Amino acid sequence: MKFSYNWIKDYVVGVLPKPEKLAEFFTFHSFEVESVEKKRQDYIFDLDILPNRAHDCLSHLGIAKEVALLTGVKFILPSLQTNKTKTTKQGGQKSKASDFITLKVENKTDCPRYTAQIIRNVKVGDSPKWLKDKLIACGLKPINNIVDLTNFVMLETGQPLHAFDLDKIKSVQVQSSKFKVQNGRKEIIIRRAKKGETIKTLDEAKNVYILDENILVIADSEKPIAIAGIKGGLETGIDKNTKDIIIEAANFNPVLIRKASQQLKLQTDASYRFERDIAANLIDFAQKRCANLIVEIAKGQTCADLVDFYPLKEKEKTIILNLDYLKKLLGIKITNQQVKQILIRLGFKIKNSNSISFQVEIPTIRKDINIPEDLIEEIGRVYGYQNIKSEFPCVIVKPTEQNKSFYWQNKTKDILTSCGFTEVYNYSFCSEKAKQEFNWQENYLVEIENPISSENRYLRPSLTPHLLGCVENNFRYFDHFKVFELGNVFNKEGNGLQEKLILAIMVANKEKDKNEDKFFVLKGVVENLFGKLGICDYVFKEYTSAEQFVFESNTFAETEKSLIAISGKTAGLMGEVRKELGSFLAVLDFDMLMAKATDKKTFIAPFIYPPVLRDIALIVPLKVKTSEVVKFISSGNAEILKEVALFEVYQGKEVPREKKSMAFHLVFQSEKTTLSAKEVDSVLTKIILKLENQGWQVRK
C-alpha cells in the first residue's frame, strides 16, 4: 500500500524525521517497509499493512497517527467546516436526503451499515492541481472533481465512497390519481444479484460482468447500478452534465466482498479495504469530509441530513489490563505512568485505574484489540522490542520426569533391532476370517460399529494374525527373516473395554528341518531381552493355557511350545505357530515386563581365583526337561559349582529311540582358594553317582 510523505505531513504539527529514518521507525515498531521511492518533491512509502491493522491503517490519517505515536509529533485531524457547507432548500425549508431517495437493505448481515448523502447543483470539472498530485502519487488516475474527491477521502480516511448521478437512478412509480402516474423518490436497494443479471462497470474497458446470487449489488427499482464494495456501474456514473449526486458510504460483509472479487476476477482499492473488515464508524467522518470538500470545490449544496441504515451499532470494547501480568509477559520494568501514557498516545481511554489494573476502552476502529495480550503487544511495540534486553529466565532447572512406558518401549525396540529383528506396524483391526481361523469367541471381541470393510470388523485381540500375514507376504522375497511388533490388543471385559500392550517376536525360516534350532534361537532372544531389561526371576515352563492369553490358545502347534513366567506369574507364551510356514512366535505381556524391568545394576566383585571346567553327558528319557537335570546337578554343590549350562541335545545313533543325550558345561570356582583337580573330580564323582542313582546313564 502506497503512502505519500508530503501528504502525511499535512496531519502533523512538528518536524518529521527524514523519510529513511521514518522507514526505520515503521520497521521497528509497526510495518515492513517494501520500498521508499522519491517522486519529484515527494517520497512514496510502500508499506506492507497486515490484515490485523487494516482496520485503522489503510489510510493516510491512520499512518499519520502512527507517525505521531512513534515520533512524538502532534497529530491533527482535518477540521469539518460545517458553517461553510451550503444547504439546499425546498419550499423555504431545508431539504432532507429522505425527500429524494428511499433505502432498502434486504439483509443486514450482508450490509451492516449503508449511508447515502444528497448533494445538489454540483459543477463537474477538472480537479485542482493539489488533488491530482495526491492521487497520482498514490497510483490513482484523476477523472473529475467529484470522483477524485471520493477517491481522495478513501485514501485519507480508509473508507471507500462512491458517487452516483441522482438523475440517472430510476424512480419509484407513484399513482397520484386514477389517470396520472408520477415519478416518486429514487429507490436504492442493497440485495443479492439475480442469476444472469449483468452490469457494465466504470473501468476504462467498460467490461460487462454476469452476476449471480453470490454477489451483492446496489440496485435501483429496475437493475443493478453497482457491484457492492467493488465497482460502480457505467449507467449511473458522474459526467460533465451531472447536477445532483448521491454519495454512498457503506460497510459490507468482508467475506462476501472477497468471494465476489475472486469470482469476478476484479479487485479494486475499495474491495481491498472491505475484504479486510474496516470499521463501520469510519463512515461518519468520511461522509462529512467528502461533503465539505465537494461544497468547497464543486460548489454543491448538501441536504440537512443523510439516509443512514445502521441497525446494530458498533460499540467500544472495555478490557481489564493487569499491570503485573503486563510486566511479566514483556519481561521489563515499566512504570504504571509509562503504561498510561502509551495507552493515551495509542488513542485508548482509561476509564478506571489503580495500582493493580487499568480499565481500558478500545475505539471501534481498533478491531484487532480484543484481549489483554493484544493491549500488551501494543504497549511492547511502542516501548520498542529493541529496548527489551535479552535475559535468561530465572527458573529452577530440574530434569523432566521420565515417561516409563516410552522409555521401556524404545529400549526394547533397540534391543530387538540390535538382534537383527525388523519392527512392523499393522492395523489395529482384524477380520471375520481371522476370528474363524483362530476360533475366537465373539462375546469377547470388540466389534466396530461402522467398519469400512469385513477385513476391519473387530479391534484386534491378538497381534498374531497380522504377523502371520507378514510371514506369508515376505516369503515371496526372503527365505528367512525376523520381525517383531509392539502394540495394543483389545477385548471385552464385563461392560467395559480392556486394552493391553503386547510384544510379539517372530522368527521364520523356509527350511523346516531347522525348526528345533529356531525354537532355541527365539528362546535365546527372549533371554537376551530379559537380561538387558534387568529381569532375572524368569523361567520357561511346560505349556499350559493362560487366562490372560486366551486369544492365543489356538495359536501354537502341539509340539515345541513353552510358557514363560516371571516371579511365578505367567508373562508370555512361546512356540511354533505354523508348521507349514516354519514360524516360531513369542507373545509377551509388555505391561508386566515394564513392571519388572529395572536399570539398576548390582556390582559383584570378580573372582580372583580361576575357574575349573568340566563337561558331562547323560542319556535321559525324552520327557525329562533340562530344568530338572540342571536343578538335580546343582543341588548340594552350590558352594563351588557356580554354573550348569546345556550345550547339546542329541538323538540318533548310539542313543535309544525313546531317549535323548544331553551335554552340560560345569563351572567350578571358589572365592577363597584355587581349586585342585582332585577337589573338582571328587565333587564331579558325587554328581555322577547321584545321576546314576536317578536311573540316568552318564556317558563316559
Residues in contact with 477: Cβ distance below 8 Å, sequence separation at least 6, in sequence order: none
pLDDT averaged per 10 residues, the chain (length 700): 94 93 92 92 94 92 94 91 57 73 94 96 95 94 96 96 94 53 76 95 86 96 94 94 96 96 95 94 95 94 91 94 93 91 93 92 94 94 88 77 91 94 92 84 83 84 89 86 92 84 90 68 92 89 72 74 87 82 87 91 83 92 86 79 90 87 92 90 89 87
* 422-423 and 480-493 strand pairing: parallel
Strand partners, 508: 481, 583
Q: What is the pLDDT of residue 371?
A: 95
Collapse the DSSP code of 456 into the 3-class scheme (helix H, G, I; strand E, B; otherwise coil) and give the result.
helix
CA distance 120 to 245: 6
Rg (CA), the chain: 45
pLDDT at 601: 79
In this structure, the dihedral spanned by the alpha carbons of residues 519, 525, 529 and 531, taken in order and rounded to 10 degrees, is 90
Taking the CA atoms of 219, 225, 226 and 232 in sequence, report the sign of the dihedral they define: negative
The residue to which cell 484523476 is assigned: 142
Length of the chain in terms of residues written: 700
Cβ 290 vs Cβ 335: under 8 Å: no
pLDDT at 196: 94
DSSP states along 262-286:
HHHT---HHHHHHTT---TTHHHHH
Name, in order, each residue with C-beta under 8 angstroms of 143's C-beta and a sequence gap of 6 or more: none
Contact 348, 362 (CB under 8 A): yes
Given this model, what pLDDT does residue 551 score?
A: 74
Amino acid at the residue 516: E
* Distance spanning both ends of the chain, measured CA to CA: 102
In this structure, is the dihedral angle defined by the CA atoms of residues 444, 450, 452 and 454, taken in order, positive or negative?
A: positive
Indicate the burial class of 345 (C-beta count within 10 angstroms; 0-12, 13-18, 19 or more). Answer: middle
Is 342 strand, coil or helix?
helix
The three cell numbers locating residue 592: 508386566
Burial bucket for residue 474 (CB in 10 Å: 0-12, 13-18, 19+): middle
223-260 burial string, b = 16+ CB within 10 Å, else e? ebbbbbbbbbbbbbbbeeebebbbbbbbbbbbebbbeb
Instruction: Select from 608, 592, 502 the least CA-distant residue to 555.
Output: 502
What single-letter DSSP state applies at residue 233? B
CA distance 467 to 411: 21
User: What pLDDT was estimated at residue 498?
Assistant: 87
Coil, strand, or helix at residue 37?
Answer: strand
Domains of the chain as residue ranges with CATH: 2-75 (3.30.56.10), 83-309 (3.50.40.10), 317-387 (3.30.56.10), 404-596 (3.30.930.10), 612-699 (3.30.70.380)
Q: Measuring CA to CA, which residue among 314, 332, 312, 318 is closest to residue 369?
A: 318
Residue 672 neighbours by CB under 8 Å, 6+ apart: 609
The grid coordinates listed for 341 are: 501514557
- Bridge partners, 578 (sequence order): 583
Whole-model pTM above 0.85?
no
Please check whether residue 345 is in contact with residue 383, taking contact to mean a CB–CB distance below 8 angstroms.
no
Write down the residue that cell numbers 440485495 correspond to: 191
Taking Cα atoms as reference points, which of 144, 161, 148 lies closest to residue 229?
Answer: 161
- Give me the DSSP letters along 501-540: EEEEEEEEES-GGGHHHHHHHHHHHHHHHHHHTT--SEEE
